[in-house]
Amino acid sequence: MHFPNLPTDNLYKFLALSGVVVVLVSIFYPISRLGELRQKAIELAAEIKILDLESKRLTVNHSQLEREVAAFEKQLSAAEKEKRPTPGDIDSIEKIHNQLRTRTLKLETSNDELQVKLVKVSAKNDQLVQLVRYVEYFVNVMYGGIVIGVLLAWVGFGLWYVRVQRPQDLLLKQQIENKAT
């Protein structure tokens, strides 16, 4: 892509047009970045919701397993309190003990999964907070660029008109009047 050459014959015109370019870049570049950042923020928010739902599901499973373990422990302690266990009671106690061990392992696994999901949610939340900071940064850059660009353009066009264009207009007017007389 070929950009037209900025006028370098006059410092004031160059200053003014540079200000216009700064304004345009300050508006369109941050807007393009903001679009990307907003899309990423939407994706992160969706991931956070999914992880939060999984975390809630694991919390419910965890609570259920805790209740089951407590019930098995009750059964086991009740069975152990009987004075003379029969071979059937011993089998029952071993069965309850194995079930208790299995449920405890599932509970520990569930707890580990829950902790991993909570860490992931926290990390995604941190990413989302960072994206919000980037958005705020680009908005500030946009406003700063617009202010600087407008000032450059205003000063450049003002000085160009006062110091160059007005004297040229007066000179041209005098030349026309001299030719007319």
Is residue 5, in this structure, part of any structural domain at all?
no
> Does 20 fall in a domain?
yes
Q: How many domains does the chain have?
A: 1
Q: Is residue 4 part of a domain?
A: no
In a domain, 6, yes or no: no
Could you report the per-residue pLDDT of 75-129, keeping only the tens digit for each?
767 766 765 666 676 677 677 778 777 877 877 787 787 778 778 878 877 887 8
Contacting residues for 118 by C-beta, under 8 A, at least 6 apart = 55
Q: Are the beta carbons of 16 and 146 closer than 8 angstroms?
A: no
Token pair for residue 75?
């059964």
Q: What is the pLDDT of residue 33?
A: 76
Task: Give the whole-angstrom CA distance, residue 61 versus residue 27.
Answer: 51
Query: Which pTM value belongs to this model?
Result: 0.55
Look up the domain containing 29 and give its range: 11-174
Which residues, at least 6 apart from 99, have a Cβ–Cβ distance to it below 8 Å? Answer: 72
Unique residue bearing structure tokens 């809630």: 56
Assess if residue 1 is contained within a domain: no
Q: Is residue 99 a part of any domain in this protein? A: yes
| Residue 3 forms part of a structural domain | no
pLDDT at 48 over 60: yes
Q: Is residue 88 part of a domain?
A: yes
